[in-house]
Chain A
């Protein structure tokens, strides 16, 4: 699986990576290419292998088998100090007994530079992360968000070719997290440093990444741009993990049609299964059309509105087709629509599934 069809050789390339912890398979034959200058997120639930993969790339927990190339150089067996990367951990791992300036300058001292040059570089880095004049403080005197930025400055100090971020935002408050998300993204684009971030937060991955690598049970499920991942999930797992997804049991009735209970649906893509095969039909709650449903609209049906829950900007409803034969379908109705249409619990309305929003997955369940 490749990140993108680029002509340039990838900056980071992973081939056939395997890692076991005792009997547990953490990484199962991972292949991956990361183009130079891109921001890539490893996304997946805990235990999916994303951190293991990051640590293998860093050389912190070496793989059992496989090859890792950074900048075209085989570093599969090189120690971490030999791999040209900067890293930010969830805990930041700032040295508490050193000042902010000494933390940032930690990696600069042994490079035979005059002291003044190092000081300048440290000041530049602190300015870069928006914390000038904080150099003489100790990490313990800074807020979580500030500490995170210092850790970033320290990781960037040696101008590494690769920046590794291991859940760098998950220890922060929601508000700070969203602000730093944007700041880090801007910084990465300015510096054009190839970046890999591990996260379990799909929203974070969607907001920040050029490419998302979705992982589960030690394998890569899908690689793609945020939009590809969200709109065209390659597997039910990706569909379910990224955003909210309703799955309906369906039977293939034609090349582009399926049946759920007694309802027929047209799908935009080839069902990829023979007529009569059991499949799973998936769609996102926000894709359910609730307003302005034309009488002759495709995939139109009558449904009873139930289980309304208020979620701020929108309401989530559970629609039960009047015709029956389907599990309740989650639908997000915007606050505007709620007000304009006066939707209420128990009412029966006409709704529709736009064909291009429907995905068909083979039924892999036992």
Chain B
């Protein structure tokens, strides 16, 4: 069975029989790592290289150096978009971070009731395409909005709408980072400060805030990057207000000016790359803050503080849930806001969109395939990178590639895919516009978070398992199947659900890559909105959101039920 037995002296006839497999276990591992690295080069490195090289070429493919960047900088409309993007993203960040911080503080440092409800409410935007928040705001404050008077004459379509919608959409991302940062603090410090009679205000400024400092920086960069690279929201609610993401789309899809699209892509890459490095620094520092002896902080009840934080959190949670609820409600309304009777008519997508429900089934196919193939690739890849000893350089290279997508916004990756998979010289261009390219693009897009999840779970396993298995003469794949994968099953399921939900909701990368038969639900939202069928767009958004939430609920139930049984060994 194992080829490794091959090198042993002929102690038994069986050993002699296996001699025919002239390849050792170590070599199998090497080949597998090489295969993973090759796949990552193909789906991550080469598209990025295509983007970079395209930005240095003229429309007819000649090398022109930085000419495109000069043209970009001297075109006032393009520069105006850059300025717009920066201040909109900056303002959205400035709004989201303080709110998310207080919300995270309430979740981690108070004894307010209903914390799990508040967590669930805040995470809601993750389960919907980004542009659903924009559609909801249009229902509320748009030209036919219910609460239009609240706008006091200002127009929603433009920076106001973009900032509001982006704030809703990016809120959970900031919250997740900040709750982690706040929960990672040493309770002993607090106790020591209390013992010294330190005032609460001083504790906040000298212990709480410095402890969460890196989380704050990291969250700010993540929000800024999400907003500046988001395509869906400015497309739906931006009106005449141009931003980088919509420019990139117009240059590539509208004007077929690939080099200029590539330049915009690279400009979009900058904040994300900066965020990537700041985040890595922050994470290193953050872990150093926590010694092995740190004790988690247990907040003590404090009526006044808990009540104030409860009120604040309730308002924020209500704002989020209400917005998405309005989008869902609007999708059932016959004629907003004049005839509020309910109907399923808006769900008859074929009326307004040639692909009808086809987009939804394409999305399901994409999400299912991404979850299955992506999870397999990510987990097997992470296992080889983390647990196989030889081939250090190759494993390091594969790990670097796996970490790369974190620094590449979906829109930029999508552009890279256009340039790479649409190129006439590339034999792989037969896949352009097919489900295949959509799947591999989505896997690549969400690779890093899944990879980190897998690594984290693998690192928790005793690192001598491989040694024990080898000493008992069983190959690593036996160990993987019998021990590693079963123990990591919860993490594997987490990765699959993460991949599925993101594949359902993503717009930014795939907007460049779909074909006539492979239009996705999230893309048909953009098209239905463009065609003025806002209710149908909201309906599709609602379907996606319901699917994603359904999968998540299923995940929670499955984890509780099945793993309760299968993972009997976890109980003492």
Contact = CB atoms under 8 A, between A and B. Distances in A.
B465 A93 contact: yes
Interface centre among B471, B571, B572 (most CB of A within 10 A): B471
B487 A96 contact: yes
Interface string B386-401: 0001000000000000
Contacts of A87: 467-468, 471
Contact of A138 (B9, B486, B569): B569
Nearest to B473: A81
B302 interface: no
Interface in B532-572: 567-572
Interface stretch (A150-158, A232-240, A348-356): A150-158
B473 A140 contact: no
Contact of A86 (B5, B24, B471): B471
A303 interface: no
A178 interface: no
A81 B465 contact: no
Interface string A151-175: 0001101101000100000000000
A58 B466 CA distance: 12
Given A78-B7, A81-B25, A110-B473, A95 B482 contact: yes
Contact of B2 (A81, A85, A139): A81
A73 B472 CA distance: 18
B472 A140 contact: no
B1 A80 contact: no
B9 A107 contact: no
Contacts of A110: 1-2, 473-474, 478
A158 B26 contact: no
Interface in B377-419: 389
A96 B484 CA distance: 10
A98 B483 contact: yes
A60 B473 contact: no
B491 to A, nearest CB: 14
Contacts of A158: 472-473
Contacts of B8: 82
A215 B222 CA distance: 52
A155 B471 CA distance: 8
A314 interface: no
A1 interface: no
Contacts of B198: none
B16 interface: no
A85 B468 contact: no
A88 to B, nearest CB: 9
A11 interface: no
Contacts of A93: 462, 464-465, 467-468
B471 A79 contact: no
Given A58-B467, A97-B487, A157 B9 contact: no
B250 interface: no
A301 interface: no
B474 to A, nearest CB: 6
A205 to B, nearest CB: 22
Contacts of A141: 572
Interface in B469-490: 469-475, 478, 482-483, 486-487
Contacts of A80: 467, 470-471
A112 interface: yes
B384 to A, nearest CB: 16
Interface string A56-95: 0011110000000000010000111111011101010101
Contacts of A78: 7
A1 B194 CA distance: 62
Contacts of B468: 87, 89, 93, 154
Interface in B100-156: none
A329 B290 CA distance: 45
Contacts of A61: 389
Q: Which secondary structure characterizes the binding site on chain A?
A: loop
Given A91-B462, A107-B472, A158-B473, A97 B567 contact: yes
A89 B464 contact: yes
Contacts of A85: 471
A112 B464 contact: no
Interface string A264-280: 00000000000000000
A89 B465 CA distance: 10
A42 B26 CA distance: 29
Nearest to A107: B472
A91 B4 CA distance: 27
A81 B2 CA distance: 10
Interface string B7-44: 11100001000000000111000000000000000000
A81 B569 contact: no
A198 to B, nearest CB: 13
A87 B464 CA distance: 10
A196 to B, nearest CB: 13
A341 B5 CA distance: 69
A167 B502 CA distance: 47
A79 B26 contact: yes
Given A95-B483, A98-B483, A154 B472 contact: yes
A79 B470 contact: yes
Nearest to A55: B467
Contacts of A139: 569
B463 to A, nearest CB: 8
A135 to B, nearest CB: 14
Contacts of B26: 79
A112 B462 contact: no
A221 to B, nearest CB: 27
Contacts of B2: 81, 110
Given A112-B14, A155-B471, A81 B4 contact: yes
Nearest to B27: A79
A117 B279 CA distance: 56
Contacts of B9: 73
Nearest to B479: A95
Nearest to B467: A60
A73 B9 CA distance: 9
Interface centre among B2, B475, B569 (most CB of A within 10 A): B569
Contacts of B572: 140-141
Nearest to B571: A140
A106 B474 contact: yes
Contacts of A140: 569-572
Interface string A99-111: 0000000110110
Contacts of B486: 97
B483 A107 contact: no
Contact of A58 (B25, B471, B569): B471
B471 A81 contact: yes
B482 A98 contact: yes
Nearest to B6: A82
Contacts of A91: 462, 464
Contact of A106 (B4, B469, B569): B469
A81 B482 contact: no
Contacts of B570: 96, 140
Contacts of B478: 110
Contacts of B5: 81-82
A144 B469 CA distance: 21
Contacts of A81: 2, 4-5, 25, 470-471, 473-475
Contact of A82 (B7, B389, B567, B569): B7
A79 B24 contact: yes
Contacts of A155: 471
Interface of B: 1-2, 4-5, 7-9, 14, 24-26, 389, 462, 464-465, 467-475, 478, 482-483, 486-487, 567-572
Closest 3 CB pairs of A and B: A107-B472, A80-B470, A93-B464
7 contacts: A60-B389, A82-B4, A82-B8, A91-B462, A140-B571, A140-B572, A158-B472
Interface of A: 58-61, 73, 78-83, 85-87, 89, 91, 93, 95-98, 106-107, 109-110, 112, 138-141, 154-155, 157-158, 160, 164
Given A60-B467, A81-B473, A87-B471, 9 more contacts: A79-B4, A79-B25, A85-B471, A87-B468, A89-B462, A95-B482, A95-B483, A109-B474, A110-B478
